[in-house]
Amino acid sequence: MPARRCLVTGAGRGIGAAVAQRLSAEGHSVALTARSGEELSALAARLPGPSLVVPADLTDPTAADTVISRVEAEWGGPVEVLVLNAGAGTSAPLARTTDEDWARMLELNLTAPFRLLRRALPGMVEQRWGRVVAVASIAAKAGDPYVSAYTASKHGLLGLVRSAAAEVATKGVTVNAVCPGFVDTPMTADTVATISATTGRTEAEARDTLARRQPIGRLIDPEEVADVVLMCVHSSAITGQGLNVDGGTVQS
């Protein structure tokens, strides 16, 4: 594959950082966005290829245009590979999920990816080549208690992916989602801390509980998610899919 112009959101750590490393190692130019400029700069310094640091709060309605316009201006062409990884979770019983919790999950996990996809797709369609990969969750496939807002946002993201994929299927552009289970990332560490604080179990016990929820008996490594993201980037025949990377938790 020739070198492509890539944009990875939520790139500072975890899955986003692993994906950025892999894309850069393959010779692509990789733009990095997240709220933390320091994390992005530290990652950019480790990448072997060209990179661009564009800190942004993707819940800002103007951020999608600002970030993508910067990539276009710096590298002279449209974003060709868009990895929609930025996201967050929240946990509460449904009856105690506030309007603010609900709005925050939808804004970051669904509306921000929608805006980025809407902004990037025309450039991909115009040159008749593009790859979009959204990092969703197995919460896009099945419901668990106490994560209704997060689950709804991820179900919505998978729906967005499927509809967009159908719309551009004849244009040389693919749109897919990767649906991880519990991955060994800072987000999972936050979940472990919450479980420990609310149940009295140690963090080691809480972490083991999450690992055992997956049939393989361990957390997923971020590199394993990056493997599937890169597969979607390489393939012109995979589109409209939600590919589980969950150790066999959800069989579909």
Among all residues, which ones are annotated catalytic?
150
**Residue with structure tokens 């939520």?**
10
Alpha-carbon torsion 196, 251, 185, 115, what sign? negative
Separation between Cα atoms, residue 190 and residue 214, nearest integer Å? 18
| Radius of gyration (C-alpha) of the chain in whole angstroms | 18
Nearest 5°: the CA angle 110, 12, 5 is 75
3-state secondary structure (DSSP) of residue 3: coil
Torsion sign over Cα 106, 150, 15, 198:
positive
The Cα–Cα gap between 135 and 180 comes to 8
Copy the structure tokens of residue 227: 């493997």
* Helix H or strand E segment including 227: helix 222-234
Instruction: Find the angle CA(100)-CA(103)-CA(104) to the nearest 5 degrees.
Output: 85
